[in-house]
Amino acid sequence: MNRAKNSVFGRGGRVSGMRLRKPWVWTMTRAGLILSLLALVTASIVVRAAYLQLVHKDFLQEQGDERFLRVVEVPAHRGMIVDRNGEPLAVSSPVDSIWAEPKAFLEQHARWPQLAAALGMTAADLEKKLAPDIERQSVNEKPRQFVYLRRHLAPDEARRVLQLDIPGVYAQREYRRYYPDAEVTSHLLGFTDIDDVGQEGLEKTFDTQLRGIPGQKRVIKDRLGRIVEDVENIQSPQPGRKLTLSIDRRLQYQSYRALKAAVMEHNAKAGSAVIVDVKTGEILAMVDQPAGNPNNRADLKSDLLRNRAVTDAYEPGSTVKPFTIAMALESGKWAPASLVDTRGPLRIGRYRVRDVHNYGTLDVTHIISKSSNIGTTKIALSLPAERLWKVFKDIGFGALTGLGLIGEQPGVLRHFNKWGGEIGHANHSFGYGFSVNMLQLAQAYTVLAADGVRRPLTILKRQEPLDPALERRVLSAK
């Protein structure tokens, strides 16, 4: 009994002992294995992190910057153009242009009509703008990274577009040129293109001075291309310099109104007017008709913006007779009271010179007031042609005024040896056979008004008194 009991116990004890110890040992072994693996993984992560942070730090930083850190341009506004009293003639106002990143935007086709409506376009218009990118996508090529959808929207309009929160659609700050006096100054100032670069007039002549220098800043962008943080200001934008003209805004407006009325009254095709300060040579007004509005670029036509005062050369006609008489008085051969028989016609070879009326005998003073072709011709032919040619050259005919205005024509004043004899001499004496522009004629008349002194013209306000060395006596004060 005891042996059997012990035997059973012994067997049971051995069996029972094994069953009690085996699960416990296995559990401990498995826990140790898992802990070892975890420790190994943790150690690997720590080592890898240390390796990346210490050894590959520069590489990783560069890769991160390439994906999220960007250098963007900060626009600079164009310099103002003001009149001599500081009144604005051209200013740049902030606007926003809407652009898209085609890769992301092409996936939003269902929202195109919504965006098009906000932009004042049609879905077909958007598709046309993105046609190259759609074609690239169809042949498994990468679309462009940038395309304008609409330029120069008012900030409020652009804000409404962005509130649609369409992936791939962004806004870019720009500046648009605005001209407060529109047609009144359009011929003189010209205009800028959509990128705010001068194209005509003073905007083009002084483009380098007026144009600003954009700045740069470093920013962080999210995966949708939106700026989430300004990191660093690399270079501050430099606005363009202000341009102060010699123009008087009030005189410019009054001249424009008077010229427009005269053109309409006489049913003329075009007209120009120039006002010059005799003492300084400053141009106080320069206007033309017909005129266009540079603020409405959709209707811009070159013919409406041409500065005819400098681009159109024409035969000046009777407006040059005072200079012919000045030449005669300067010679000493003629005096204001000298008499001339103006009965005509006057025969010069096979040509005839006539007056509108038969004025009989006139003194030199009345030859000007009656505008007698015959009287002027007889006076001119009594002196060498070279003298008349020299006076015309000295007062500025046949040469650019030096203002640098776009499209200025110097006119034509041939050498007196090429005038074609007496008839050519006669024609030049009363304004035919050569050409001038309106600005040259205004400059010539300043010589008469300044007692025979010619002063250089300027379209910029003189900040200092005119240097006497720049003045030139053309005729005696007497």
CB-based contact 377:430 (threshold 8 Å): yes
Between 441 and 214, the higher pLDDT residue: 441
User: Is residue 16 scored above 50 in pLDDT?
Assistant: no
Q: Is 338 a catalytic residue?
A: no
Residue whose entry in the numeric block shows the structure tokens 């992560």: 45
pLDDT band at 202 (very low <50, low <70, confident <90, very high): very high
Amino acid 433: pLDDT? 95
- Range of weakest confidence among 270-279, 300-309, 397-406: 300-309
Please tell me the predicted confidence (pLDDT) of residue 146: 82
pLDDT value at position 361? 96
pLDDT for position 131: 84
Instruction: Answer with the residue of higher pLDDT: 111 or 141.
Output: 111
Average pLDDT over residues 227-234: 70
CB count in 10 Å sphere of residue 319: 15
Q: Mind listing the pLDDT tens digit for each residue in 273-291?
A: 999 999 999 999 999 999 9
Mean of the per-residue pLDDT values for the chain?
Answer: 86
The pLDDT of residue 7 is 46
Query: Does 3.90.1310.10 match the CATH number of domain 71-244?
Result: yes
Mean pLDDT of 3-15: 47
Residue 65, pLDDT score = 52
Which helix (H) or strand (E) segment holds residue 136: the answer is helix 131-138
C-alpha separations of 444 from 312, 315, 393, 397, 451 in Å: 17, 14, 10, 8, 12
- Summarize pLDDT for 163-176 with one digit per residue, the tens: 888 888 888 888 89
Is the confidence at residue 460, as pLDDT, over 90?
yes
Give the pLDDT confidence of 331-365 residue by residue, as tens digits.
Answer: 999 999 999 999 989 999 999 999 999 999 999 99
Q: Exactly one of 36, 302, 318, 382 is catalytic; which is it?
A: 318
Q: Are strands 169-178 and 81-82 parallel, antiparallel or unpaired?
A: unpaired
Instruction: Render pLDDT for 374-401 as a digit per residue (tens, 0 to 9).
Output: 999 999 999 999 999 999 999 999 999 9
Distance CA 179, CA 131 (A): 35
> Tens digit of pLDDT for each residue in 54-91?
666 666 565 555 556 677 677 788 999 999 999 999 99
Answer whether 353's CB lies under 8 Å from 478's CB.
Answer: no
Report phi then psi at 444, rounded to 5.
Answer: -60, -40
Question: Is this prediction's pTM over 0.85?
Answer: no
At 124 the three-state DSSP class reads: helix
Name the pLDDT band for 26 (thresholds 50, 70, 90).
low
Confidence at residue 311, expressed as pLDDT on a 0 to 100 scale = 94
pLDDT given for residue 298 in this prediction: 72
Q: State residue 203's pLDDT score.
A: 94
The domain locations on the chain are 2-55, 71-244, 317-473
Q: pLDDT category, 310, cuts 50, 70, 90? A: very high
Residue 312 clears pLDDT 60, i.e. is over it: yes
For 317-473, the fitting CATH number among 3.30.70.20, 3.90.1150.10, 3.40.710.10, 3.40.50.1980 is 3.40.710.10
Residue 56: predicted pLDDT: 60
Q: Give the bridge partners for 71, in sequence order.
A: 218
> Are β-strands 346-348 and 339-341 bridged in parallel, bridged antiparallel, or unpaired?
unpaired
- Residues 6 or more apart whose CB falls under 8 angstroms from that of 181 comprise 89, 249, 252, 253
Of the candidate ranges 118-127, 343-352, 460-469, the one whose mean pLDDT is the lowest: 118-127
